[in-house]
Structure 1
Amino acid sequence: MTGLAPARPETRRHARTDAIRHAGLGAPVALLRRDLTERTLFRMPLVLDLVFGMMNLLVFLFISRVLVPAGGHESFASGAYFDFVAVGIIFMLVVQSATTQLISRVSREQRAGTLEMLVGQPVPASLLALGLAAYPLLFVLLRATAYLAVLALCFGLGVGHADWLGVAVVLLTGATTMMAVGLVLVALSLTVGHGDTLARLLVVAFSFLSGTYFPITALPGPLPGLTTVLPTRSALDGLRAALSGGDWMGSAGALLVAALVLLPLGCWMFDRALRGAARRGVLTRD
């Protein structure tokens, strides 16, 4: 007696991808639903990321007990260095996920052959871009929320004066803006390759220039003024202000403008990159 073998994960993924052709304008939701059905793709990375992230933050907690900035820092009522650097690390992890993870997902679609299938569907490239970015966006928001909760409950992060609406708005606009940057990097990766390397370099640059580990005022020469154009600086300033009960609306407004500019640009570049990759026959790679 012969039984039916269970469908391979690749087969199920191809079937769900093929179903997106009927989704129309709901393609982003269909792609997100497809990704969420792959439970191991969602649960294990979040758990492992939280464990390693907490170990990293624990190191900075011990450092902060030795390193005490003179006069504290105005970004937090507590003036504690750990409060300052913890928020910086949280958002840099958001930046990392929004860029490197998005590139990794598109590369996985290429290797599985599903990217070529998606491009062949009667769905605009902008909707495909939003659909592919939907899962990483949800992941980074849950990631940041989990970090904030653990830091407040277990590490003593000062949130007594926090404006949680401001925290949510800044996180959402900041993550959306960085996801748009991720789409630009995906387009570059499809066009010239090495997108993951560019993303890692960008994360390092943002970490150094946006005030992740030290106040912007410590940068030499004109750099503090020049960094005002960086969305990561606006996000860090706004997030720290919201957590300390300060004014976050200016930073949120700057992030909203950046998202409105960068998101259409990222979708357009993604569309052009897909067209070029289709002409060169590199939508599927080993």
Structure 2
Amino acid sequence: MTPHPAKPRLSVVVVGFDMARELPRTVLSLLPPYQRGVTPDEVEIIVADSGSHEPVRRDWFPAEADVTVLRVESGGVSPCRAVNLAAAQARGDLIAVVIDGARMASPGLLRAAMDASRIHPDAFIATLGFHLGPKVQQVSVTEGYDRNVEDGLLNAIGWPDDGYRLFEICALGESYREGAFAAPPETTFFVTSRARFEALGGFDEGFQTSGGGYANYDLFDRATAEHAPPLIMLVGEGTFHQLHYGATTQAGGIQRRVKPEASLADLYAEEYERLRGRPWVRRHPKQHLFGSITHPAVRGLFFPAAAS
């Protein structure tokens, strides 16, 4: 494979564990020409394989694309170390993180994020997250939704020909149920400057429970603290979760019992309180909206109360 010596503007870190079905779609959705208004030399993808049983292979992804695979054996069941190691080798001045490698992107996600970054050099640019299928997947899997059904949905919209049609076959994730009316407690995708990411210290590797626990909430809270650079939420662009029976998206979700006396939510809350010395409480930071109505379904998903 020919090396890519040019410095990209944006480095996208994608973390995956046992996602041989999902990762190729995710990476394809983050590369031009699927990503519109972005040239190949503007973007690099770093796939952080967080100890998959079947190691991620470079030949899963387009040979001509600027894609690097980083194998991380020491991360445990949390993605935090894998994110930080991948971000450390990023070459771009902007760093994006896709915390769950099963999340496909809408076609203007990277262009919109890069454009929004011009508003403030250290802005924290985030987006809403959606689940493929009729409901959040922790519910839909109990009603017959599975990978075969999902593949059929993607075939029915002709994906990847027009990625905006993903808005036709999705539901808002639980953390994003208010749409764009209020800042969410976390994000499935963000972009910020390398300097800002480093100043934040990346993800706190003390979060070691399955899926990273509240690490995503913690980073979002630190990035949107009072007097921090602006939070910019994208409208009309998002990420779409493919079914892979992850820690919080299998049947029961975060409330499923993982011990006789405790749910996954209990373990996450206990870990957060141990690390931060207080319970996690949702904040409501000021947000700035940036984007456009990219598909007829966008209005009802991003502004659900207004559409009802």
What TM bracket, shorter-length normalisation? Answer: under 0.3
Q: Which has the higher contact order (CA 8 A, sep 6+)?
A: 1
Q: Higher helix share goes to which structure? A: 1
Q: TM-score, normalised by structure 1?
A: 0.25
